[in-house]
Structure 1
Amino acid sequence: MRQPFRQLRRVLAFLVLLAAALVAGVGGLLWGTFPGGDRIAAIPGLAAPVDITIDPDGIPRVRAANAADAAAAIGFLHARERLFQMELMRRAAAGELSEIIGSLTLPNDRLMRTLGLRARAEADLVGLPPETRAVLDAYARGVNAWIAARGRFAAPEFLVLGPPRPWTPTDSLLWGKTMGLYLSGNWRTELARAALLRRLPPQVVLGLWPVAGGAGHPEANLAPALTATAARLAAVLPSFPAPFTLPASASNAWAVDGARSATGAPLLAGDPHLGFGMPGVWYLARIDTPGRVLAGATAPGVPFLVLGHNGRIAWSFTTTGADVQDLFVETPAGDGAYLTPDGPHAFAVRQERILVRGAPDDILTVRETRHGPVVSDLVAPGGPILAVSMANLAAGDTAAAGLQALNDADDIDAAGQAAPRITSPVQNLLVADRRRIALFVTGRVPIRRAGDGALPAPGADGGHDWIGWAAGAELPHIVAPASGRLVNANERVAPADFPVFLGRDWFADWRARRIRDLLGASDRHTQASFASMQTDAVSTFARDALPRLRRVVPADAPSRTALSLLDVWDGTMAADRPQPLIFNAWMRRFRQAILSRLGVAEGAAAGLELAADALSNHAPGDEAGAAHCGGDCGPMLQQSLSAAMADLIAAGGDDPTAWRWGEQHQAAFAHPLLRTVPVLRRLAGRRIPTPGDDTTLFRGGMAAGAFTSVHGAEYRGVYDLSDLDRSLFVVTPGQSGNFMSPLAWNFMQRWRDGGTISLGPTPATVVAHIHLVPEGATP
């Protein structure tokens, strides 16, 4: 009997040793993907050595002889920490994700190939000025130096996927193309409206997107076949929060002049809002060259500073919300042609081959008209023809040169000259120099012959064509306002009667009103007060709604408890209180009830603006005119409160006083690929309880069906123009894109709690020193 047991022990010991060896081997491979510490590396084309120090937070400080050498260094650093993020960005924009992921990402690839982002970026590169191309070339050399040195050990993901291909300047332009596409989503709204016209009157459909301040009058006589095509197309387009998509975006920015700051110089704050992810969108850096400093948020894939200061000015961006996308209904004119004002024209036709991991190649035939790509072919070739015009697909996109000019600007006048060169996306550029503050709208806005872009328009007669662009001084701009302050949080940036039609659909002004209230509470603001404002969790929307909600007659005991809690609540979306959970659940149910009454799907309407419009759309003293509710909103509010409380009790127990907003409202940072892998998603994703919601300055936008925070400020910056080295920064979740590194998560808690750092010229502690030398030089 002893012999069998002895053999069993030997087998078990062998298996344990084998498992340990496998674990050690995998651990060794993963360890090999860490970027390491001190390093000397050669980069082709450097004019002089570049010195880089890394502080304990993983933030580099770069000292270079000129802008091109600095770009090469940033390319090297971006690749060192974020190469897989860059790989996914360029593949998503070029429609090449399925080559490494499989058929799951085919909808994204088919859309991007139809829009032709890579080909348009290649054409734009040719037209850029030499100095911009030189910087893009240098950046690519820096990225490729890291790729050449590390191969498949450049990031953990490449251990499985194989070494990345070399980086090109066109790849960098794809980042701007992506931002231009997703920061302007009107064409999707047009599709949603067109689909609803199958069964709802035009005035009801348009009312689901309440107008802020009034706009034009779109045509609404769409053929039934077209509305059906619109519905099918809207259903297949990738949408947030699916991987490789972005949400309807929003941001905060404000500034005061020296008369209203404690230092006597302007102050500026900005925090752009995008979808949360691991890694985040932004990478902090400081770059010093002779006579210039750049400090703030860089974007992996791009050599320029996107948000921050250059030692002379500071700037931030918010989304304008301008309508720069239109759908056109084209009329067939025989085989391979469509009608134009000049008669039949042939479609431009091309074929796209999409490589699909584990499946046959997907062959896509793309047609284009004079208006743009035919997007209806994604679902209904041979049916009604919908072509899309997008400003960021138009020729002559000089956004890279414009951002470079902004990086070099000495004052707000120079920043204003850079604004129109940032052709896409259309953004509000808030900028301050040492004396003044200003707001400029960047980019170019189409001038329409007729219509307001609310619905697909006829394409054959040219009656709704774009006939030119408005840019620069033709767009809203404010320099040195008499009020001494500037604010934008995505509300309408110009009055409804502004000479250039900017769009019909706007975000509500809840966050902007809160900023103005806080600015008005003090005559002398400081960096600290601005940083505190960025984490403010008071909801102006809730404060507007509470008087009406408190008049609801409760239908049951849980509703009575809820109303008693809301009766003593001030609208602060604090993580440690139950009221934010009750309020958000109630408003979600109320909005769903409005849509359900009309038979409208959850995503096919405005967000909380719809609920707010229903609460305010009634005659004084009664609700007889509350159109969204079909009359009196009281019963719908009563029923939706009961339904919300039933949901919350089922999820969190029957004691509402024990509920906590932060338990449900957690900011989630997930790896775009590993988020669905059972074991790895725990390693590659983190959550943290947060205050705020979709209406507060501490933005915590939520996906449908959950209270998880998936959208907000991954970057915050506060700039003191009296001493820009004192500026305050924070990103989330961390600096590194390697999910195994502590630096991938090192800013999460500080970000949540309002912590910040500064980026002075010299770090207090250096943990790594990188020395870049010209290729062939002696280190």
Structure 2
Amino acid sequence: VALGASWAYWQLRASLPTLDGVVALAELDEEVSVTRDEVGMVTISANSRSAVARAMGFVHAQERFFQMDLMRRQAAGELSALFGGKALEADKRVRIHQLRARARAIVAGLPSDESEILLAYVAGVNEGLHRLGSRPFEYWVLRAEPVDWTAEDTILTAYSMYLVLQPSTAEKKLTRLNVKERVPESLYAFLRGKGSEWDAPLWGEPLLPPAIPEASSLGNWSAKLELPLKMRERPEPPLPGSNSWAVSGALSDNGAAILQNDMHLKLRVPNIWFRIQIRYGEDEQSRSRYAHQVTGVSLPGVPLVVAGSNGKVAWGYTNSYGDFSDVIVLEQERPGSYLTAHGEVPLETVYETIDVKGAPAQRVAIEKTIWGPVARSGADGRKFVLKWLAHDVTQAINLGILGLERTETVADAIGVAHNARLPSQNILLVDSGGNLAWTIIGAIPKRVGCDGDEPVSFADGSCSWQGYLSAEEYPLLMNPPDGRLWTANNRVASGEMLRRIGNGGYDLGARAKQIRDALFARDSFAEGDFLAIALDDRGLLLERWKAHLEQLLADESAAQDDLAKALLVQLRSEKDLRARRDSVAYRVVRTYRYLLRDALFMAWLAAAYDAQPDLKIGSLSNQWEGVLWEVIQKKPAHLLPAPFASWREFEREVLKTSLHSLGIDSRERLAQATWGARNRAAIQHPLSPFIPLLGKFLDAPIEAIEGDVNMPRVAGPSFGASERMVVSPGHEERAILHMPGGQSGHPLSPYYLAGHEA
């Protein structure tokens, strides 16, 4: 046993990245410097950008090759070759997109300057992998061999972000169709509300919820609930997204604009991002420094600084939740063919083979149309096709954000953004001259004849995509008069610009509103002020629900219950509702609101749930807060679920079930039901869920954390700010960069979990 342990430790040590000394790389004909700071942030200095790319590939592979491998395999649908049958269903869902073939086509179409950078990076990755003294430890655990990197794998890594940031299935729009076909039209319109008083667009007014439908419009429909109520685990995860805001130089303490960006993603060990600074090119005025210095975060697998600052311009992203796909109802007069505007066309069937570790390979049939693959076949025989921006190899991905490294003004950067191709995002841009702008980076389809909100037929050509928006047609807001910009996955635009972007399920505006109001609360900012906004854990959205619950508990009949009395005292004692570790009120109010939502939607959409048991309310609309509050305030009798005789009786039952779900049956248990007891960081290495014993050595410490989803400080057990960056171009020495999960992927590295505490 001791001999085996010694051998395993030796192999683990041998796979550590090279941190010191001189390394000769093949085909590298210039000197490159690679240094690290106390948290492992890498600085790469070279004469040429291609040399930087080669060194970046070397460093990424040595520090993160296994994580890079997972990202390319996730996008290609090749995880089963590594993990066996447990990954097969995930691979099947992805394979219909045939992203490896698309990635290969994208590589072939890259312009020569981007291709040069990519090929240098690939060479660096493979040299970095081969220079390790032993294969990365994860492959020893999995009894597998790492496979060399290719140019198409870099594109697949970028595609993996499409899978995170945009719907890759037809589920969301089919949910809407399911509900629309099973409830009265007026109820569907009400539940599909497009906004609420929490809206905080950059321009335009809030989109208030539709009026509560009249009883006469509902026909024989009625709301019914089965008792006892049950607290369900919420089926929908937090929205992948981000916060970003900026102020102009007129509002900063240094004359340059200031940018904040935190990208909210699933958290893991190591972090998805990699801290990096790159320096290259000779400055003509001073040979003692580099012409270009870019600091920020990179995505291992890709030779780019994804978000950061070049000293003159800084940039960051939030998910736009624009609508970049359509679900097409296929019209068929006979099996094996379908109708188009140009007549009947045969369905094409192609096959993909999925290698499965320890089992025979699986052959998967994919039906294809001129618009995209068949993503779902309904029980009634209807076929639904997914037309998705990611499928268009001319528009999905390029390395265009390389251009941001050399831009000198926001105006320059806007032109780069409109020609760069990646999952279409909000991008905020600021410069050292004090300018700021918001626009969309990535392609935007030009949809004609329909809005794309629900499944639609393309058969007669009345609804179609007619290319993509030109740069001149992109939505853009530069240097607004008040000098402030903000985005938080909410509805950003209004009117025609909103129509162009589309509604892909944007988030409730509560988080954006809280940020916006904080920006207008003062007229001068420094980086620390931006960090304070980012760490704001006030539960402003839930304050009115807290007051509502206090009113319910103060009712005469409720006051006879000792536990209700204790809860009322607790709620009143917490004057400021915050998502703090020790807050009981926050947890109780939050639980009550979600159960109230779940119970009402289960009652209202009973027929839809029967047809789709895993129905996600957020797929119908993320604006349900406005609907819920309107109903609870007005208490329409025709929307009250049977068998309850009154809204008060229903709400008491919801509260009773909420407390039961939290294990609160006494004053003592009430005091223990804190937000921190639930909101505990569980940031894991990818292997830990499969081999729990490894988690003890690989995972970040489990600890109570502050924050939640509907506030600037977004934080959940395994979801939150994957990086938190505050920077003013030209003043990088004052910048703030937090990154949970650490820098290195090797548990013996001094940089494993480095910086996680911040």
Shorter-chain TM-score range: 0.7 to 0.9
1:667 aligned residue: 681
* 1:129 matches 2:141: no
1:770 aligned residue: none
- CA offset digits 1:711-753 (Å, max 9, x no partner): 2111011012341233211111100112454533222221xxx
Distance 2:706 2:303 in 1: 34
2:404 aligned residue: 406
2:34 aligned residue: 52
Secondary structure at the residue paired with 1:170? Answer: helix
Tell me the amino acid that sits aligned with residue 575 of structure 2. W
Distance 2:314 2:374 in 1: 41
1:191 aligned residue: 174
1:744 aligned residue: 752
Match of 2:568 among 540, 563, 569: 563
- CA offset digits 1:583-602 (Å, max 9, x no partner): 22212221221233133456
* 1:649 matches 2:627: no
Matches within 5 A, 1:418-433: 418-433=416-431
Distance 1:721 1:634, change over 3 A: farther
2:201 aligned residue: none
Distance 1:616 1:364 in 2: 46
* Percent of paired sites with the same residue: 28
**Preserved CA contact (<8 Å) 2:60 2:125:** yes
Distance 1:627 1:414 in 2: 54
Distance 2:474 2:647 in 1: 40
**Preserved CA contact (<8 Å) 1:376 1:385:** yes
How far residue 206 of structure 1 moved from its aligned partner, in angstroms, is 5.3
Distance 1:111 1:130 in 2: 34
- CA offset digits 1:395-452 (Å, max 9, x no partner): 3136433211222222111111111223331211101011201111122222333232
* 1:713 matches 2:721: yes
2:383 aligned residue: 385
**Preserved CA contact (<8 Å) 1:272 1:714:** yes
**Preserved CA contact (<8 Å) 1:562 1:582:** no
**Preserved CA contact (<8 Å) 2:194 2:623:** no
* 1:595 matches 2:595: no
Tell me the amino acid that sits aligned with residue 570 of structure 2. L
**Preserved CA contact (<8 Å) 2:550 2:568:** yes
Identify the range of structure 1 (650-659 vs 687-696) with the bigger mean alpha-carbon deviation. 650-659
How far residue 131 of structure 1 moved from its aligned partner, in angstroms, is 0.7
Matches within 5 A, 1:88-167: 88-150=70-132, 152-158=134-140, 160-167=142-149
Distance 1:100 1:37 in 2: 29
Tell me the amino acid that sits aligned with residue 392 of structure 1. A
Distance 1:151 1:343 in 2: 61
Distance 1:363 1:576, change over 3 A: same
How far residue 624 of structure 1 moved from its aligned partner, in angstroms, is 2.9
Distance 1:180 1:690, change over 3 A: same
How far residue 392 of structure 1 moved from its aligned partner, in angstroms, is 1.7
**Preserved CA contact (<8 Å) 1:432 1:721:** yes
TM-score by length of 2: 0.86
Tell me the amino acid that sits aligned with residue 240 of structure 2. S
Distance 1:111 1:137 in 2: 30
Distance 1:569 1:657, change over 3 A: farther
Tell me the amino acid that sits aligned with residue 652 of structure 2. Q
Distance 1:647 1:336, change over 3 A: closer
- CA offset digits 1:625-677 (Å, max 9, x no partner): 89587997544433222211122235998432343322220122112233232
* 1:585 matches 2:555: no
How far residue 508 of structure 1 moved from its aligned partner, in angstroms, is 1.1
Secondary structure at the residue paired with 1:366? Answer: strand
* 1:691 matches 2:673: no
Secondary structure at the residue paired with 1:545? Answer: helix
Matches within 5 A, 1:519-558: 519-553=519-553, 555=558, 556-558=561-563
**Preserved CA contact (<8 Å) 1:158 1:164:** no
How far residue 115 of structure 1 moved from its aligned partner, in angstroms, is 0.6
Distance 1:616 1:529 in 2: 33
How far residue 171 of structure 1 moved from its aligned partner, in angstroms, is 0.8
Identify the range of structure 1 (201-210 vs 536-545) with the bigger mean alpha-carbon deviation. 201-210
Match of 1:616 among 629, 645, 668: 629
**Preserved CA contact (<8 Å) 2:58 2:124:** yes
Secondary structure at the residue paired with 1:693? Answer: coil
Distance 1:530 1:95, change over 3 A: same
How far residue 275 of structure 1 moved from its aligned partner, in angstroms, is 0.9
Match of 1:728 among 720, 731, 736: 736
Tell me the amino acid that sits aligned with residue 354 of structure 1. I
How far residue 605 of structure 1 moved from its aligned partner, in angstroms, is 0.8
Distance 1:740 1:383, change over 3 A: farther
Distance 2:634 2:176 in 1: 30
Distance 1:719 1:315 in 2: 9
Distance 1:632 1:409 in 2: 63
**Preserved CA contact (<8 Å) 2:571 2:585:** yes
1:637 aligned residue: 651
Tell me the amino acid that sits aligned with residue 349 of structure 2. V
Distance 1:194 1:53, change over 3 A: same
How far residue 456 of structure 1 moved from its aligned partner, in angstroms, is 1.3
2:203 aligned residue: none
Kindly report the root-mean-square deviation, in angstroms, between the aligned alpha carbons of the 2 structures: 2.9
**Preserved CA contact (<8 Å) 1:208 1:606:** no
Match of 2:14 among 32, 51, 63: 32
Tell me the amino acid that sits aligned with residue 666 of structure 1. R
Distance 2:533 2:638 in 1: 35
Distance 2:151 2:430 in 1: 30
**Preserved CA contact (<8 Å) 1:79 1:154:** no
1:3 aligned residue: none
How far residue 207 of structure 1 moved from its aligned partner, in angstroms, is 4.3
Distance 1:744 1:471 in 2: 44
Distance 2:188 2:614 in 1: 14
Distance 1:663 1:75 in 2: 41
**Preserved CA contact (<8 Å) 1:591 1:610:** no
Tell me the amino acid that sits aligned with residue 438 of structure 2. L
How far residue 348 of structure 1 moved from its aligned partner, in angstroms, is 3.2
Secondary structure at the residue paired with 1:386? Answer: strand
Q: Which runs of no fewer than 5 residues in structure 1 stay unpaired?
A: 1-18, 218-239, 702-708, 751-779
* 1:265 matches 2:278: no
**Preserved CA contact (<8 Å) 1:391 1:424:** no
Distance 2:70 2:27 in 1: 27
Distance 2:346 2:257 in 1: 56
- CA offset digits 1:127-185 (Å, max 9, x no partner): 22111111111110110101222275234335644332211121111122222233122
Matches within 5 A, 1:287-686: 287-290=278-281, 291-334=291-334, 336-376=336-376, 383-397=381-395, 399-435=397-433, 436-498=435-497, 500-504=499-503, 505-553=505-553, 555=558, 556-567=561-572, 568-597=574-603, 598-599=605-606, 600=609, 601=613, 603-606=615-618, 609=622, 612-618=625-631, 622-624=634-636, 627=639, 634-649=648-663, 654-686=668-700
Match of 2:244 among 247, 250, 253: 253
Secondary structure at the residue paired with 1:521? Answer: coil
**Preserved CA contact (<8 Å) 1:720 1:727:** yes
How far residue 40 of structure 1 moved from its aligned partner, in angstroms, is 2.5
2:220 aligned residue: none
1:69 aligned residue: 51
Distance 1:281 1:659 in 2: 32
Tell me the amino acid that sits aligned with residue 581 of structure 1. R
Matches within 5 A, 1:165-204: 165-185=147-167, 187-197=170-180, 199-204=182-187
TM-score by length of 1: 0.84
Q: Which runs of no fewer than 5 residues in structure 2 stay unpaired?
A: 196-205, 211-232, 282-290
